[in-house]
Amino acid sequence: MTDNNKPDIQHGNELLRDERYNKGTAFTESERQELNIEGLLPPVIEDIDKQLKRVLFQLDNKKNDLERYILLTNLLDRNETLFFKTLMSDPKRFVPIMYDPTVGEACLKFSEIYRDKSGMYVTSNNKGKMSDVLKNWPEKDIRFICVSSGGRILGLGDLGANGMGIPLGKLQLYTACAAIPPYGLLPVLFDFGTDNETLLNDPFYIGLRQHRPSTDVIDELVEEFTESVKSVFPQCCIHFEDWKGADALRILKKYKNKICCYNDDIQGTSAVVLAGIMGALKIKGGNLKDQRILIFGAGSAGIGIADMLSAAIQAEGKTENEAVSQISLFDINGLIVKSRTDLNEYQKVFAHDVSSSKDLNEVISDFKPSILIGVSTVGKAFTETIVKTMSRINERPVIFALSNPTDHAECSAQDAYTWSDGKVIFAAGIPFDPVTYNGNTYCPSQANNYYCFPGVSLGIYATQPKLVTDQMWIEACKALAEMLTDDEKNKGMVLPPQNDILDISFNIGVRVAETAFAAGLAQVKQPEDLRSWISDMLYKPEYK
């Protein structure tokens, strides 16, 4: 994608207010004279590297990450190029500021810190005219829409229109982590209302002051939205993000084989977990098809992980029934078993004909999992007893405590290594510092979705596939796990370092593109040199 939408050259204050083309103090003397901005800027002329140093200095002097988030979003409103220059200079540092965990706090306070430019809002009041509403967006060549209903923001629940921080942040990661050009990305908050009474009574709340409608009404509105996107932006992939669990599963099931779309909470989470397990198996040995997996949490993330792992186990030669038998789930009401009457259709797939239990440690002792995955949002649920039980039945237990933010993590890295006597292969959904135990230093990986979805999106961006398939995600996981070095494995890492994220995303993008071409799903001509072809598409934060 090239910047074909660039308008006629602007002049004066109008140019300085255009975040895409504003260069601030980087305008040369001749440009200032030609563009009628002489005198509207300080006389100093600086290149983008000098500007970056000033931004970093300003960030270092902020008190906390929320203030840094606000500074960076204000920078984005003024100078898009410098904003992405900053993020891409050190993604490992800036992803936690612009996304998880800081974005959670930003969403809680979004109505208070709201600024003029913050994506697009589609509401239930737009029924019958969504195409017209989408046409109001100034860009006409949109390649991705990240759309959230605000129904389940991280571990914070229903935040309604305050959830706009999520699609904004997700799409910024497309560029910061995979160099996808930002001008083809559209963040959307689909405001159905909210059942959060605190927000409904908040005088500053920016969303519809009404409760969420019935499932039938939501489905009807989503149908119109997807049809409108296909009409207005025919090359667009829809990225569903942070919808309520039941809505997320239902909508993905309906559309994944109909249009180019994916749900990162379900598929992106599943993919990074699968990649982490592949990395763990490179440390402990063995094949995925021989593992027994217990997932603590049976919402959309847990079900998505189970589905992805089942597909990957089947790809190694097991039948569907065999794969399902190796995976168990546990939710707030205990083990998912056939005798329960409160299961939804997605949970029933993994319901086994065994005795019910609400005791997680008892389930571990009976089921004997080699891998324990937490996506429950129940902080400290993996107790010392549970970690010791996993260590008793496994020489190298794999424990992923993936819930976030920090106080929702099922256990800490320090506790996992200590309680397992250093045996555990551990990853978390939040960053933990290295842990030294008995003279050995372990570096726990953060199984963050941004390891996968930016790279997968790059492959989608390049090939414009008709559909996004499970095989694309599985191949992305393989590409990610293959990047682990022996030194990283020796440190207990199951994923490569986050500071390599641009290279990681590029390799994943190439693998996904190869998969799309091999499956006949790509809607562009296959190039002779795929890597060079994709490399030429990458966004570079440079002034033109």
Q: Would you name the residues annotated as active-site residues?
A: 99, 170
Residue 494: phi, psi to the nearest 5? -105, -5
Measure the CA–CA gap between 265 and 297, rounded to whole angstroms.
Answer: 13
Work out whether the CA dihedral 542, 3, 468, 531 comes out positive or negative. negative
Work out whether the CA dihedral 332, 336, 340, 346 comes out positive or negative. positive
CA distances from 258 to 238, 253, 474 (A): 12, 10, 20
Going by C-alpha positions, the residue among 477, 409, 430 that lies closest to residue 267 is 477
Contact 312, 288 (CB under 8 A): yes
Measure the CA–CA gap between 500 and 529, rounded to whole angstroms.
Answer: 23
Query: Quick check: helix, strand or coil at residue 529?
Result: coil
With a CB cutoff of 8 Å and minimum separation 6, the contacts of 134 are: 120, 122, 228, 229, 232, 233
Q: Beta partners for 373?
A: 295, 400
Exposure string for 501-526, b = 16+ CB within 10 A, e = fewer: bbebbbbbbbbbbbbbbeeebbeeee
Measure the CA–CA gap between 328 and 220, rounded to whole angstroms.
Answer: 34
Q: Which residue spans within 287-349 are E strands per DSSP? A: 293-296, 327-331, 334-335
With a CB cutoff of 8 Å and minimum separation 6, the contacts of 208 are: 123, 124, 125, 160, 161, 191, 192, 193, 194
Measure the CA–CA gap between 222 and 192, rounded to whole angstroms.
Answer: 10
